[in-house]
Amino acid sequence: MLAYVFFHQAAPGTDVTAYEEGLRRFHASLAQVEPRGFISSATYRSDRGYSDWYLVEDSAALDPLNAAAVAGSIRPVHDAVAHSATDFTGKLYMLVKGWPDGQAFETRFSKPAGMGYDDLYERLEQWTMIGGVSLWRRMMVLGPPPEFCLLSPNELNLPAEMKPDVFAREPV
């Protein structure tokens, strides 16, 4: 499973209530169309802004998702929200462990220099074995660092060497 994660802010002067309602309408419209390979999508609000998580089966599902987001009856809903947004960036993540289930906390972190991926995954097992925790790894170096993201129901305290950045999020 992959997640295309799109980060954005409401532009200055935007009615946040209307912006969030537009996001809800957009995701509901996309779910009705069900592009090939699409699993689900949702928007989360945090003190950093918004992140839209689009879960897809594989990379072949990205083209149909991209086309569906701006096609037919969805286009006006997409365009209304897009014209009210600013500060965009996106990342492509691969699910390494667990299952995404609307977790309340997001922890972004980096693999310590010199540590192999297998060693990192083994070190993270104390957290990834907890129910409701999912581990995501950034693919194709899209977007700024860090490379990893843990989604969890509770705040996690990773070692300082991983430079964890923890924040609460809530569904819109």
Q: Where are the beta strands (DSSP E) in the chain?
A: 2-10, 38-46, 49-56, 85-97, 105-109, 134-138, 148-152, 165-168, 170-171
Q: Give the domain CATH number at 23.
A: 3.30.70.100
- 77 with 160, same domain? no
Percent of the chain exceeding pLDDT 70 equals 99
- 80 with 107, same domain? no
Provide the pLDDT for residue 97: 95
Residue 39 has pLDDT above 70, yes or no: yes
- 100 with 155, same domain? yes
- 115 with 143, same domain? yes
- 85 with 111, same domain? no
Per the structure, how many domains does the chain have?
2
Alpha-carbon separation of residue 66 from 35, 62, 140, 155 (angstroms): 9, 6, 18, 33
Strands 2-10 and 49-56 come out as antiparallel
Residue 3 has pLDDT above 90, yes or no: yes
Dump pLDDT digits (tens) for 102-149: 789 999 999 999 999 999 999 999 999 989 999 999 998 766 789 999
Provide the pLDDT for residue 143: 66
- 86 with 124, same domain? no
Last residue of a domain, one of 66, 93, 120: 93
Average pLDDT value over all residues in the chain = 94
Provide the pLDDT for residue 142: 67
Tokens of 90: 């996106």
Provide the pLDDT for residue 129: 92
Dump pLDDT digits (tens) for 51-88: 999 999 999 999 999 999 999 999 999 999 999 999 99
What is the chain's alpha carbon radius of gyration, rounded to the nearest angstrom?
A: 16
pTM: 0.93
Last residue of a domain, one of 26, 59, 93: 93
Task: Domain of residue 83: give its range.
Answer: 2-93
